[in-house]
Amino acid sequence: MSQYTAAKRRITVDEICAGGFSTPLDAPTVPPFPFEFRNVEVLTLAYRSDPAAMACLLPPPLELTGDVVLIHIYKMNDTDWLGPYSEANVMFGAKLPEAGLAGAYSPYLYLSSEVGVVHGREIHGQPKKLGIPRLEARGDIWAGTLSRNGIDIVTGTLAYKQNRAALSALSAILDFSNNFNLKAIDHIDGTPAIRQLTARRLANIHVHECWQGACTVELRPNVQAPVYRLPVAEMLDGFYWRGDFTLVPGTVLHDYLKP
């Protein structure tokens, strides 16, 4: 087993040093790879922003590739380990010239699951914080909101299932399949332990349906969830899509602590 179960014996050093290990000993928090997401509903909002503001949130040596921001609001209906929860991922296009790679960098993520927050921060290095994303049908629209501290910091709308599309139409606006993150963890003495750029792709993606149309995006300031630092300059299309996928191990793209 990849996760130690402290039931009738003492844990070994080899088990502590093995991949996939997580504490507490008898009820680990972080799921081991891979784990599946089934019947996920997503509202993706696309808009143009200020490239100068976007560049301020991008760690070197990543470089900006455009002015489009995507906000994904996920309704995770059935997930291994985590159960049902909700998540919001804010991202924009970036590239790593030294590796010849392009993808999307995430400066902000918010979700309702403590397990998801811990896993995202400890493993991927994602900047996850607790929040309350919501995705629901309200009459003839899809409404997506993200709130923290009782403030709706993101509100997005899309007409309810008017124009069928393929997910490739969303990828044409911004290919977000390769997700970049800045992983930063210190030793207990305050010295740097991990300073990396990481990347991950989803596997076994199966899209059940996809719908496209004009969207609206409204941002409200919150100092603890500063998505407003990526201001809306022009609203583009939105997408409602539903599918399944698997989260698998990623890669280290750049290690700041190596010579």
Residues 6+ apart with CB under 8 A from 22: 3, 28, 29, 30, 32, 122
Residues 6+ apart with CB under 8 A from 63: 94, 95, 96, 97
Model confidence band, residue 9 (pLDDT cutoffs 50, 70, 90): confident
Residue 184, SS3?
strand
Give me Rg for the CA atoms of the chain.
19
Dihedral angle sign, alpha carbons of residues 207, 197, 51, 66: negative
Return the pLDDT at 259: 82
Kindly tell me if the per-residue pLDDT of 2 is higher than 60.
Answer: no
Dihedral angle sign, alpha carbons of residues 243, 91, 144, 156: negative
Query: Which residues are the active-site residues?
Result: 128
pLDDT averaged over every residue in the chain: 95
| Tokens representing residue 172 in the block | 């044409």
Q: 34: cis peptide before it, omega within 30°? A: yes
pLDDT tens-digit profile of 101-140? 999 999 999 999 999 999 999 999 999 999 999 999 999 9
pLDDT tens-digit profile of 159-192? 999 999 999 999 999 999 999 999 999 999 999 9
Q: What is the architecture, at CATH level 2, of domain 31-255?
A: Beta Barrel (2.40)
Kindly tell me if the per-residue pLDDT of 6 is higher than 90.
Answer: no
* % of the chain exceeding 70 in pLDDT: 97
Model confidence band, residue 8 (pLDDT cutoffs 50, 70, 90): confident
Return the pLDDT at 219: 98
Where do the domains of the chain lie?
Answer: 1-30, 31-255
Q: What are phi and psi of 53, to 5 degrees?
A: -65, -40
Residue 255, SS3?
strand
| Residue showing tokens 């299932």 | 161
Kindly tell me if the per-residue pLDDT of 218 is higher than 70.
Answer: yes
Model confidence band, residue 204 (pLDDT cutoffs 50, 70, 90): very high
pLDDT tens-digit profile of 34-86? 999 999 999 999 999 999 999 999 999 999 999 999 999 999 999 999 999 99
| Tokens representing residue 50 in the block | 């200020």
Angle at 103 between CA 233 and CA 91, to 5 degrees: 40
Q: What is the DSSP string of 186-232?
A: E-TTSSEEEEEEEEE-EEEEEEEEEEEEEEEEEE---TTS-GGGS--
* Range from 19-23, 151-155, 169-173 carrying the lowest mean pLDDT: 19-23
Return the pLDDT at 137: 98
The total number of residues shown for the chain amounts to 259
CB atoms within 10 A of CB 39: 14
Return the pLDDT at 3: 61
Q: What is the 3-state secondary structure (H, E, C) of 37-58?
A: EEEEEEEEEEEECCHHHHHHCC
Kindly tell me if the per-residue pLDDT of 4 is higher than 80.
Answer: no
